[in-house]
Structure 1
């Protein structure tokens, strides 16, 4: 679902940005004296975008105002949905740890992220590690980024991360499972020049 929201967000931002750039650029160009095509929305530098005839054309039609309000309401609802999707926190602030007494305890998400990243950074061949938690507090998901030394086998590093760091994090938080998305990147070293 997050990937779909991210894709929709990028497409909407791109389309809105493109429309605003085209319309704003055309108004600026016409205002600076560029002659617009005959089908364009305004004719020249002193022409208004929405004249009196266009504004009052459908005023007497019974369907006009309900249609205008319905379209505006849908646009406002879509804008609010978009804003809520963009502003929603991506990181997990806290997660629920099963303490065995039926009540549970809350563990700060950043604390577990820090421990997971530090544990992953200590693995053989890992130059740098970063971890974030997402999902729900009863079902967290880990996102781990590893920067590997050039001579490290990615399969070995992934196996070590899974069997050591992720297992430690899952067991310490008392979770039944901790699904993870892992991204690997190799550190680039410049070759030494031999004279």
Structure 2
């Protein structure tokens, strides 16, 4: 959902910037101004003296303009950090029991979890993604199940088996998991 909203918002902002920027460039280079353009020719200024000083006597005008611009800048920074934030956990802090800690590569733990989950009875494919913080990791597990498998039993086997072993071996108090189950679709075969 967030990815779709992000792409639509980026597309709309990009389209507006290209249309406005292209029209400013075209009018500045001497092309006739479009009918919707706010100025008549290439020698017009964007803000005339009358437009700039129109709200000078209103005490609320400039603080409002600055507040709106500050909010837009903060929203832009929030959006940028949301886009650039890493969704995959690169390291997990493992409690070694002696007061120190060790770092375990996130991909290694993902691979082991996926391998153990893939070995469960009736699991055709398993994919694991670690998220969260290094001291409090979370997992997202996707399992593709064979048609004959009971989803409840597969989920129980996963939580009591692979996830419990990973939690215990890493010395974590908890290892929350979001598990998505999907059935495998097989092609129809002719039986004679």
- TM-score bracket, normalised by the shorter chain, equals 0.7 to 0.9
TM-score by length of 1: 0.74
Measured at CA, do residues 156 and 65 of structure 1 come closer, stay the same or move farther in structure 2, by a change above 3 Å?
same
> SS of the counterpart of 2:182?
strand
Counterpart of 1:139 (choices 131, 136, 139) is 136
Q: Which residue of 1 aligns with 2:186?
A: 189
Q: Which residue of 2 aligns with 1:176?
A: 173
Gaps of 5+ in 2: 23-32, 40-45
Give the total of aligned pairs. 174
* 1:70 to partner: Cα distance: 2.0
Q: Which residue of 2 aligns with 1:45?
A: 34
Query: Is 1:60 the counterpart of 2:56 in the alignment?
Result: yes
Q: Map 1:28-43 to 2 at 5 A.
A: none
Measured at CA, do residues 112 and 19 of structure 1 come closer, stay the same or move farther in structure 2, by a change above 3 Å?
closer
Q: Map 1:9-158 to 2 at 5 A.
A: 11=5, 14=8, 17=11, 45-49=34-38, 55-56=51-52, 58=54, 60-61=56-57, 62-158=59-155
* 1:55 to partner: Cα distance: 4.2
* 1:137 to partner: Cα distance: 1.3
Taking the aligned partners of 1:78 and 1:57, their CA distance within structure 2 comes to 29
* 1:20 to partner: Cα distance: 7.0
Gaps of 5+ in 1: 1-5, 29-43
Q: CA RMSD in A?
A: 3.1
* 1:75 to partner: Cα distance: 0.2
Is the CA contact 1:96–1:107 (under 8 Å) kept in the aligned structure 2? yes
* 1:58 to partner: Cα distance: 2.6
* 1:65 to partner: Cα distance: 3.1
* 1:24 to partner: Cα distance: 8.0
TM-score by length of 2: 0.75
